[in-house]
Structures are given as C-alpha cells and as structure tokens.
Amino acid sequence: MGASVTTGLQMAAARPCIPACQRLLGSRAALPSFARALSTQTGFASCRKTASAGPFVSLNHKRFAVRAMSAHGLPIDLRGKRAFIAGVADDNGYGWAIAKALAAAGAEILVGTWVPALNIFETSLRRGKFDESRKLPDGSLMEITKVYPLDAVFDSPEDVPDDVKANKRYAGSSNWTVKEVAETVKNDFGTIDILVHSLANGPEVKNSLLETSRKGYLAAVSASSYSFISLLQHFLPIMNPGGATISLTYIASERTIPGYGGGMSSAKAALESDTRVLAYEAGRKGKIRVNTISAGPLGSRAAKAIGFIEKMIEYSYVNAPLQKELLADEVGNTAAFLASPLASAITGSTIYVDNGLNTMGLALDSPTLST
C-alpha cells in the first residue's frame, strides 16, 4: 500500500474549521512571542465557534485569527515562492491546512496526491466540492496550480513491483514515483522554494509493537519517514537556496502512546532524528532549512483508522495547559512561519503545536487524583 495522507495522531488531520469570518484560526494564548508581536501589528478578528469536536468543547469558546499576510507590521510574506506539498488528497488534512496557509501568505501551490486517491481529489476540485474550505482570509479561493500523482513509497520506476503496476487503481497515471515527480516539477516550473512532507501510513497501526510483523514495521518506516529522505534527495537539486522543508511528527516518537502501534512510533522517532541530520546536510549542501512540526491529536475521517482518536482529543483538551480545541489551521499557520524568512535561523527543530500537551507529566483526569 502506498503512502497516504498523514492522519490524526499523525495518521490523520482535522478538517479545518471554517467559521463565518473565514479566518485562519489560532488561539492568541497559544501564540509564541513572535506571533504575539505579529498580532499587535495585524490585529485579530474574533470568531465564535460554529461546531464542536466533542461534548467537552464549549460552544461559547471564542477563537481569534491572525492574518497570514498584512500590508504593514511584520508580515509572513511568501509572494514569489513556490511550494510542493506531498500528501494532499482531500480538504481535511494537515497538508490541506498547510497549503491554505502558504497560499494565504502568497505562495504558489503544487501538490502531490496519492495515486489511488487522485481521481476523486481532482474531480472534487473541479466540481467545487472544496470551494468552501478553499476560502482564504481575503475571501479569494486557494488556487492549486497543479496536482501531481505521487506514491512516495517508490523512489524510481525500477522500484515498483509488478502487482502495483498491474493494479487498476494506478491505471491511467504515470510518472508518479518520487524521482519522476521531481523531474516533472523541474520540467514544469524549474525550481521550488518550499517542500512539505505530509505523508504517513502504518498498515498495522492497530497492532502493538510486540504483535507487529517485520513487513508491517518496515512499511510504516518506509511510508512515514524514509519517504521524507527520498523527497528531499530528489527535490533538493531544484530547491532555491534559502528554501525550507517541513514534515509532520507526533509525540509518540518520544513518549509511549498505547494503541499507536505497527511501528508508527518508531517511524516518527526516525523522522525527528532525520530532521536533525538532514538540517546539517541540506543546510551545508543547499542552504535549505529542515524542520518538523509535532502536532497534537486532531480528528478526521482517516483518524478513525487508529480507533481511539476521539478519546485522545478529549484527553488533550482535559490535560493540556491550553484547554481548547486544536485546529489544523494552527498547524498550517506554524508551517507558514517556518517556511518564511521570519524563521531564517530555525533549522533541525521539532516545533510542538499541541496546546502544550507535550510538557505535561501527569494526567489531571487520572482517577487516582480524585481518591
């Protein structure tokens, strides 16, 4: 099975919430110092919550939006930049939210979509099914310049086994291995500035590590971490100096999350380690920055593959320092910052976007605390 779009506990992302004001969303309380400075210059637009992720989220909870671009102050300005986002197959994942934030900041958007999902994704785009979620802060619709078929599990045509070649889900598509996609992007556009890895797949994610097969373990690492190395290998030659890459990880890389199995925790640990090594190598070779975002649990259709995503969302809400729903758009806004010149000295870092859950060492809702 090929690399699919990254999801909730890094197996799926939440559908970006789209309130009436159509702003990219984020809590002012959650903003680090650079964004608070930004907010004082750009201003906030308050939006009332329109939907709840669960009964534990108040319908009266207010959110605030920071504009990704501003005509004054300290803007995130990506005009003239081109981004390739690997792992966009619908309008409710991290990759989509990142694409929107980059587009709002002025970047041109190219996406790579898993081959079996390509037809449905392109059809939905053409028929306007994503138009509501394509809306940017200025009211315009995010434009995707080109959609490329991509299966990041395979580096080159020689790596594709016969059963995949014969699979009807791949029929009609060509040039979808990592090497071929990079070459096609080069032929189409010459260069890119931003590379986003929003891919993860663990076929045995419901299995404990003790019950995970070698095949399942290696498949998780191949799709979820080595795919980033492969993408950077092949795209680095066409990335402009000063460019940036961003991947997505999860706290299971460093903490035990029972139920997040099949080798996925190992894959995320590898991804974070590779981020540090590749920051050195790509920095010296191409002046490219390499960072990863450790996002908290977010719910979506794909996250149901894990089986307990709603419980993890509730756990996060109850135990995180910032007691609010985490939004995919907050991950997107962070990615826009990391891709911008404002983050020109940040590389090799894991940036937590999880309402601070990673800092906690004690579950506040533990029954033992009430006895």
Q: Find the catalytic residue in 260, 280, 315, 352.
A: 260
The kind and range of the H/E element at 66 are: strand 62-66
Please state the domain extents for the chain. 82-354
**Is residue 146 helix, strand or coil?**
strand
**Is residue 297 helix, strand or coil?**
coil
Identify the pLDDT of residue 212: 98
CA distance 342 to 91: 27
Question: Any catalytic annotation for residue 148?
Answer: no
Q: What are the tens digits of pLDDT across the range 135-154?
A: 999 999 999 999 999 999 99
63-67, 120-124, 279-283, 320-324: which range is least confident on average? 63-67
Q: Where does residue 7 rank: exposed (0-12), middle (13-18), buried (19+ CB within 10 A)?
A: buried
C-beta pairs of 69-72 under 8 Å, 24+ apart in sequence: 69/104, 69/105, 69/106, 69/137, 70/38, 70/41, 70/42, 72/41, 72/42
Identify the pLDDT of residue 3: 53
**Is residue 5 helix, strand or coil?**
strand
For residues 320-324, average pLDDT: 95
What is the percentage of the chain residues whose pLDDT exceeds 70? Answer: 78
Q: Find the catalytic residue in 226, 250, 280, 352.
A: 250
CA distance 227 to 304: 23
Identify the pLDDT of residue 297: 83
Question: Any catalytic annotation for residue 260?
Answer: yes
CA distance 46 to 29: 13
| Per-residue confidence band for 72, with pLDDT thresholds at 50, 70 and 90 | low
pLDDT at 43 over 50: no
179-183, 235-239, 255-259, 362-366: which range is least confident on average? 362-366
CA distance 119 to 104: 26
CA distance 362 to 10: 22
DSSP state of 188: H
**DSSP E strand stretches across 185-230:** 192-197
> Which fold would CATH assign to domain 82-354?
Rossmann fold (3.40.50)
